[in-house]
Amino acid sequence: MAFPLTPEKFSSSPFFNPSDFLSYMRSLGALKDEAPPKGVILGYQRSLVRYIMENFSTRESEGYFGRDLHYIDEAWAGNGEIALVSGFGVGAPAAAVMVEELIAWGVGSFVSMGTAGSLRADLPPGSLVLCTSAFRDEGTSRHYIAGSDPALPDPALTRRLATALSNRGLAYAAGPTWTIDAIYRETPLEVMAFRDLGALVVEMEASALFAIAAHRGVPIAACFSVSDTLAELKWRPEFHTETTKEGLEVLFAAAT
């Protein structure tokens, strides 16, 4: 059976768009006349959010996005032209809703920055990974792009992120990710299959975000700090180690 279940949907228009929802919020007084940031870093881990809040000057959004969005009021961030968005949850559907609304608001570019599980023995926890494509094993992207080809990040923004990592002397791997929403249904069979296809890591958002960004014509890149490994076909978690946290911190420094 094809997915989506009604593949003809791509010749039909949706009932409403994110801009319609934001207009509704504006009519209720929930969306204030606040300038959107030019770029957004999507953060999923509390440790990264805490690090940014404790080490940089930030300002909470006063409108609809509220405490989920913090402008970074530093000169190197254009005094608020870059913002951190967090607290919206994990997984493709949650990230998709947030990114759709941010694009409709006027945000012009994105870097998704989170943790990922390694599929390879040579990428232990703490390793840095720059994403070059995403195998679409979640459902959200299938409603934006027909077929099953991998979703791709913006090449120019990805190159800029690669240059920033290299300029800081950071060692990183570049390659595909396997994106799946069903975190508790990852199996050894799939790890071997996607590893054979070239996937370096597994995570929950990239393919959907790439598909949305392509559909809306907005650049996005993604990078990960490896937090656990499935490489030996058993799970070894290291989410709360210093190397995982430090990986996110150096990725943030490079992205900004």
Q: What is the pLDDT along the chain (256 residues), one digit of tens a residue?
A: 678 999 999 999 999 999 999 999 999 999 988 999 999 999 999 999 999 999 999 999 998 999 999 999 999 999 999 999 999 999 999 999 999 999 999 999 999 999 999 999 999 999 999 999 999 999 999 999 999 999 999 999 999 999 999 999 999 999 999 999 999 999 999 999 999 999 999 999 999 999 999 999 999 999 999 999 999 999 999 998 999 999 999 999 999 8
Report how far residue 54's alpha carbon sits from residue 42's, in angstroms, rounded to the nearest whole number: 18
Pairing type for strands 58-60 and 69-72 reads: antiparallel
- Output the pLDDT for position 3: 85
Instruction: Write down how long the chain is.
Output: 256
Stated pTM of the model: 0.97
- Output the pLDDT for position 256: 86
Location of structure tokens 């881990």:
45
- Output the pLDDT for position 1: 61
Phi and psi angles of residue 19, each rounded to the nearest 5 degrees, phi first = -65, -35
Say if CB 228 and CB 240 are below 8 A apart.
no
DSSP 8-state symbol, 121: T
CATH superfamily of domain region 18-255: Nucleoside phosphorylase domain (3.40.50.1580)
155: CB partners within 8 A, 6+ apart: none
Phi and psi angles of residue 147, each rounded to the nearest 5 degrees, phi first = 85, -165
Report how far residue 36's alpha carbon sits from residue 105's, in angstroms, rounded to the nearest whole number: 7
Query: Is residue 169 left, alpha or beta, with left meaning phi > 0 and alpha meaning psi from -120 to 50?
Result: left
Q: Find out whether the peptide bond into 18 is cis, omega within 30 degrees of 0.
A: no
Q: What is the DSSP string of 173-199?
A: EEEEEEEES-GGG--HHHHHHHHHTT-
- How confident is the model over 53-104, as pLDDT tens digits? 999 999 999 989 999 999 999 999 999 999 999 999 999 999 999 999 999 9
CA-to-CA separations, 134 to 106, 174, 176, in angstroms, rounded: 25, 12, 5
CA-to-CA separations, 19 to 15, 99, 109, 133, 201, in angstroms, rounded: 12, 12, 17, 28, 34
